[in-house]
Structure 1
Amino acid sequence: MNTIVIVGLDLAKIVFHAVCCDQHQQIVKKKMLKRGQLLKFINQLPPCLVGMEACAGAHYWGRQLRALGHQVKLIPPHFVTPLVQGNKNDFNDGLAIVEALGRPRIHFVEIKTIEQQDMQALYRMRQRCLKERTALCNQARGLLAEYGIVLPKGISFIRSRLPTILEDAANGLSVLFRRLLAHSYQQLKELDAHIDSYTLELKVLSQQDEACQRLQTIPGFGPIVSSVFRSVVGNGAAFRRGRDVSASLGLVPKQHSSGGKAVLRGISKRGDCYLRGLLIHGARAVMNQSARKQDPLSHWINRLKAERGVNRAVVALANKMARMGWAVLSTGTVYTQA
């Protein structure tokens, strides 16, 4: 019987499909497994290479299978999809994962630790509350405009003026709408409390994590940016160089070249859009202070801003921050000015 050396595992919530192959990627065994049967089945196999798509639950199963002595690799789904042959089904997906494992230029996803997932869960919940608060304020502003009350943009105006509007008996608002508006104001205060709580948790985690403390030595990296960057990049081992990190975050030009003619467009905007936005906001804060400083980084920023404009300079600085962040994580050092 051929020895199983590669397993393509198609993950799901309840039913999993495993495609076991030999060193020549010939199918040795195919198995449909319930959730409770997966670890028992994998434990019966000799130590082998297990591949999975980097999807929901992949990091958990990656840690579990690695603890059983197997080598586990997570593959971005967009690398697996083109390799599916025939009709799409779970077994063909598993076989495509096996084929992707043998490709020479596939970039794999590093398995997250429990601490990284804790940080990720925290900032994702904070991000959800931020979106809900923005939506709530936009709705309140739009509804008030229908009653002839126009408020300026900004959450602070909604927060400060809603109590005054509710107390003004001469503004023509009906009793029902006042009651609805009061409910929206209560929701706004609750969301503010949740956001403050999540922000405090992120700051505490960043203080307890040594890597986050080192990241905060980089200009533009505060507690939130460092926590999110740490949860996404990990220790930097999944990337060969800093440019790979900035490319994975969509901070490099998108190329569309043909016929020997190189064409570079705007940034690709791939990867984690939330972290990319945080880096750009951090870069903008650094740029606002650069005009009053004389260090080498500030000189570089001011020259680039004069030559290429503010927006391009901000994105270029965010790119540099991502590369510096990888260098700090991968080498275990802190940022120092040249």
Structure 2
Amino acid sequence: MLDAAISPLLSARDAMAGEFAKLDKLVRDQARKDEVCHRRMTIPGVGAVVAMTFRAAIDDPTRFRSSKSVGACFGLTSRRYQSGETDRVTSITKAGDASVRVALFEAAHVMLVRITRWPPLRASAMRVAARRGAKRAKIALARKLAVIMHRMWIDGTEFKTA
């Protein structure tokens, strides 16, 4: 009886896993074919999904006057509350495209947690983590990644680790 109940669920799970593998391969192939995405994937922690999400969100990189403003576009800057003598800096604004913000945050998390070598980006984020905490360090690193990816797109340059 248990076998009859679970067997259809397992076959459906296998079918979904197969379709997911096809979709994942399609995304990776598209990212490799695209020159801009392929260049972004040289950044440690940035994969095909992050590169494609960033490219889709910023369709025209020239609409930003400065690369620094890209982080603010995706809500990766601090929120301020000012009233009278009160001036508080709180969490991030969360403005803009949430999927890009999540993708950049995950890329920052991968760079801090999974990558074994110590590029200068990771070292600066670890200093922030020691002072302010890991979550703020990941937000700061995600903002830096957005600035770097935009500048790489504008200049057409490769990522340099040192």
Alpha-carbon deviation of 1:182? 2.6
Say whether the 8 Å CA contact 2:45–2:115 is kept in structure 1.
no
Bigger proportion of residues as helix: 2
Q: What is the 5 A alignment of 1:138-177?
A: 175=1
Would you say 1:314 and 2:133 are equivalent positions? no
Say whether the 8 Å CA contact 1:235–1:330 is kept in structure 2.
no
Please give the alpha-carbon distance, in whole angstroms, between the structure 2 residues aligned to 1:178 and 1:256: 59
Please give the alpha-carbon distance, in whole angstroms, between the structure 1 residues aligned to 2:23 and 2:34: 16
Q: What is the 5 A alignment of 1:326-337?
A: 326-337=150-161
For the aligned residues, what is the CA RMSD? Answer: 2.1
Match for residue 22 of structure 2? 197
Please give the alpha-carbon distance, in whole angstroms, between the structure 2 residues aligned to 1:197 and 1:265: 42
Match for residue 123 of structure 2? 299
Please give the alpha-carbon distance, in whole angstroms, between the structure 1 residues aligned to 2:60 and 2:7: 47
Please give the alpha-carbon distance, in whole angstroms, between the structure 1 residues aligned to 2:7 and 2:73: 44
Please give the alpha-carbon distance, in whole angstroms, between the structure 2 residues aligned to 1:284 and 1:315: 9
Please give the alpha-carbon distance, in whole angstroms, between the structure 2 residues aligned to 1:239 and 1:249: 12
Say whether the 8 Å CA contact 1:282–1:318 is kept in structure 2.
yes
Say whether the 8 Å CA contact 2:78–2:93 is kept in structure 1.
yes
Match for residue 237 of structure 1? 62
Say whether the 8 Å CA contact 2:76–2:142 is kept in structure 1.
yes
Please give the alpha-carbon distance, in whole angstroms, between the structure 1 residues aligned to 2:116 and 2:21: 32
Alpha-carbon deviation of 1:292? 4.6
Match for residue 288 of structure 1? 113
Inter-CA distance 290–309: structure 2 relative to 1 (3 Å threshold): farther
Please give the alpha-carbon distance, in whole angstroms, between the structure 1 residues aligned to 2:73 and 2:6: 43
Match for residue 254 of structure 1? 79
Letter of the structure 1 residue corresponding to residue 123 of structure 2: H
Letter of the structure 1 residue corresponding to residue 79 of structure 2: K
Number of aligned positions between the proteins: 162
Match for residue 181 of structure 1? 6
What CA deviation, in whole Å up to 9, does each residue of 1:207-235 have, x standing for no partner?
Answer: 11111111112222111211111111124
Q: What percent identity do the matched residue pairs reach?
A: 27
Q: Looking at CA atoms only, which structure, 1 or 2, has the larger radius of gyration? A: 1
Alpha-carbon deviation of 1:186? 2.2
Question: Which runs of no fewer than 5 residues in structure 2 stay unpaired?
Answer: none
Please give the alpha-carbon distance, in whole angstroms, between the structure 2 residues aligned to 1:200 and 1:272: 25
Alpha-carbon deviation of 1:317? 0.7
Match for residue 100 of structure 1? none
SS at match of 2:86: coil
SS at match of 1:263: strand
Alpha-carbon deviation of 1:200? 0.6
Letter of the structure 2 residue corresponding to residue 242 of structure 1: S
Say whether the 8 Å CA contact 2:44–2:115 is kept in structure 1.
no
Letter of the structure 1 residue corresponding to residue 28 of structure 2: K
Which residue among 236, 261, 272 is the counterpart of 2:97? 272
Question: Which runs of no fewer than 5 residues in structure 1 stay unpaired?
Answer: 1-174
Please give the alpha-carbon distance, in whole angstroms, between the structure 2 residues aligned to 1:182 and 1:252: 49
**Larger RCO: 1 or 2 (CA < 8 Å, sep 6+):** 2
Please give the alpha-carbon distance, in whole angstroms, between the structure 2 residues aligned to 1:235 and 1:290: 31
SS at match of 1:241: coil
TM-score, normalisation: structure 1: 0.44
Would you say 1:325 and 2:149 are equivalent positions? yes
